[in-house]
Structure 1
Amino acid sequence: MTTTAADHTGRHQHSTPHEQTAPALVAPVPAAPMDPAPTRTPGSRMDPREDFPEDLTALGMADLQVLHSRITRQLDHDYLTDPAGPDCSTMDRRQELQAELDARDTA
């Protein structure tokens, strides 16, 4: 015996009794175990508690500029959000970076 069923477009599909089967049930996939928090990549600012290179002369120019940008953004953030102003270590870091950038400009 052949039966006809309309699909979602309104067209009829023909099938024989052997072709009519119940839709397969999909077993739920168990959730993967939670991995530990991924290592955070550096943001656009450098918190005063983050490590800062002791020897700026060992950094390439691109790394030095990125570090300067992060410190500058931290200063901007601190001026806007902290009534006491920026952290002293952030101010010192900026001064060190400016001195290194100035030294490279004159070299």
Structure 2
Amino acid sequence: MTTTASSDHTAPHQHDTRPSPPEHSAPALAAPTAAATPPTPGSRLGPAEDFPEDLAGLGMGDLQVLHSRITRQLDHDYLTDPAGPHVSTMDRCQDLRAELNARDGA
């Protein structure tokens, strides 16, 4: 016994009533250059970002936040860069430690 598949064409054709997706019209982004440095997340302070010259002029809360951001950058660098942290990040951490130690001793 052989069976043949039959298709039922008696059902009415259903049309897709969803709106068509909009055409992509976003402006093209410029290609990144080799010299471009990606932004550092707010919880870290990268070596290319601004750092205050006068740490003594900062309030204790600002100094502690800055120390936290530098420490997080050091942790990130140690974990992701085989060469270790950037020299400027290490210098900044040393400067922050010296300022915090001076305030603790005052």
Between the aligned partners of 2:84 and 2:45, the Cα distance in structure 1 is 15
2:44 maps to which residue? 45
Q: Which has the higher contact order (CA 8 A, sep 6+)?
A: 2
Task: Return the offset for 1:64.
Answer: 0.1
Task: Report the count of equivalent residues.
Answer: 67
Runs of 4+ in 1 over 6 A off after TM superposition: none
Partner of 1:28 in structure 2?
Answer: none
Aligned twin of 1:64: 63
Superposition RMSD in Å:
1.3
In structure 1, C-alpha distance between the alignment counterparts of 2:77 and 2:86, rounded to whole Å: 8
Letter of the 2:69 partner, please give it. Answer: R
1:46: how far off?
0.3
Instruction: Choose 1 or 2 for highest CA Rg.
Output: 1
CA distance in 1, matches of 2:82, 2:72: 17
1:95 maps to 2:98: no
Gaps of 5+ in 2: 1-38
The answer for unaligned runs of 5 or more in structure 1 is: 1-39
Identity of aligned residues (%): 79
TM-score (norm 1): 0.61
Which structure has the highest strand share of the two?
A: 1
- Amino acid corresponding to residue 95 of structure 1 in structure 2: Q
